[in-house]
Amino acid sequence: MSFSVGLLLIPYGIAVILFLIFALLNVYHLIAYGATTKVSFLFTFVFLAGSSFIAYASWLYLKDIDWSAQIMFQLMQAGAFEGF
């Protein structure tokens, strides 16, 4: 039995999409509830800069991975623990 390493990208993609949705909701709240001040702009900028940095660092660490590599699973055989 085998599966591709690329399958790991599915839960990661879901986490990233949820991150984007919640990030946009936060920005929406700041705008909708009248908190468009210098402080809120500063924090939004810091948040966007930090997010970009994390995305870039992630890309650096993940770019060399072979996502098409197959991982083999070996089911445990009966008697594998014999002798213990």
Partner 1 sequence: MRIEELIHKKPDEKVVFYLRRHTIIFIGGMLLIALMAAIPLAALYGALTYYPQVFERELIGPALKLAASAYYLWVWLFFFSNFVDYYLDAWVVTNDRILNVEQKGLFNRVVSELDMSKIQDVTSEVKGVLPFVFGYGNVFIQTAAEKERFVFEQIPKPEEVRKRLLLLVEEDRRRQGEVLLAMGHET
Residue 74, both tokens: 């070996």
Instruction: Give me the amino acid identity at 29.
Output: H
Chain centroid to CA 77: 35
4 binds partner 1 (CB under 8 A): no
Nearest by Cα to 70 from 9, 4, 8: 4
79 binds partner 1 (CB under 8 A): no
Nearer to partner 1, 28 or 80 (CB): 28
Residue 10, both tokens: 């599915």
Summarize as ranges the residues that interact with partner 1 (CB under 8 A).
5, 8-9, 11-12, 15-16, 19, 22-23, 25-26, 29-30, 33-37, 39-40, 43-44, 47, 50-51, 54-55, 57-58, 61-62, 65, 67, 69, 71
